[in-house]
A = this chain, B = another copy of it.
């Protein structure tokens, strides 16, 4: 398990969850003493679907454009509303967000990647992960009439830059 920066080990005997206070009660962590820095987070995930469904999506994409356009917008909007969805998240100043989709016939999956940048005291990991998850749910919604067995897989943080805990590049494949 490779991690960058000063992040503390998950194996430390008394790993303390920052979102819980000394009594174990949830709170919104104080970040007022942290510096505003440029931050970036890249998250990825995928939607596994039958070859026929992937084919429908791709033909749809080639000719019509709307399936992935809807998912892209849903993901960007979800990034913006992350603090409403994730109870203890701070609202942060997002400076940019983009989503990329790549259908992969070999694995019979649609890959989704979100890149989020912010200038703030706390990072944009949750925004990137939320964008991927909501884009994946939207793809599911638009294709569910032809395939209810799709699965949303491997939503994970891949890179993170900026902030006191240092850079992070994922070592293990999810």
Where the two chains meet, the residues of A that have a C-beta atom closer than 8 Å to any C-beta of B are 1, 3, 7-12, 15, 17-21, 23-32, 38, 45, 48, 50, 52-53, 56, 60, 63-67, 69-70, 72-74, 76-81, 83-91, 93-100, 117-119, 121, 125-126, 129-130, 133-134, 136-138, 140-157, 160, 168, 170-172, 174
- Closest chain B residue to A77 by CB distance? B87
Whether A76 touches B53, Cβ cut-off 8 Å, given contacts A65-B24, A66-B65, A141-B126, is no
CB–CB A81/B80 < 8 A? no
Contact of A149 among B99, B147, B153, B170 (CB under 8 A): B170
CB–CB B32/A86 < 8 A? no
Q: Would you list 26 pairs from A and B whose C-beta atoms are within 8 A, ordered by A residue?
A: A7-B145, A10-B56, A17-B146, A19-B141, A19-B142, A20-B64, A25-B72, A25-B98, A26-B66, A26-B69, A26-B73, A27-B97, A28-B76, A30-B96, A70-B88, A74-B86, A80-B91, A81-B85, A85-B137, A88-B142, A125-B144, A126-B144, A133-B133, A148-B170, A149-B170, A152-B152
Copies of this chain, whole number: 6
Whether A1 touches B153, Cβ cut-off 8 Å, given contacts A64-B65, A65-B69, A87-B76, is no
CB–CB B27/A98 < 8 A? yes
Inter-chain CA distance A25–B172, complex, in Å, is 30
- Closest chain B residue to A50 by CB distance? B10
Contact of A66 among B24, B29, B153 (CB under 8 A): B24
CB–CB A1/B149 < 8 A? yes
CB–CB B146/A156 < 8 A? no
CB–CB B154/A151 < 8 A? yes
Tell me the minimal C-beta distance from A159 to chain B in angstroms.
10
CB–CB B20/A66 < 8 A? yes
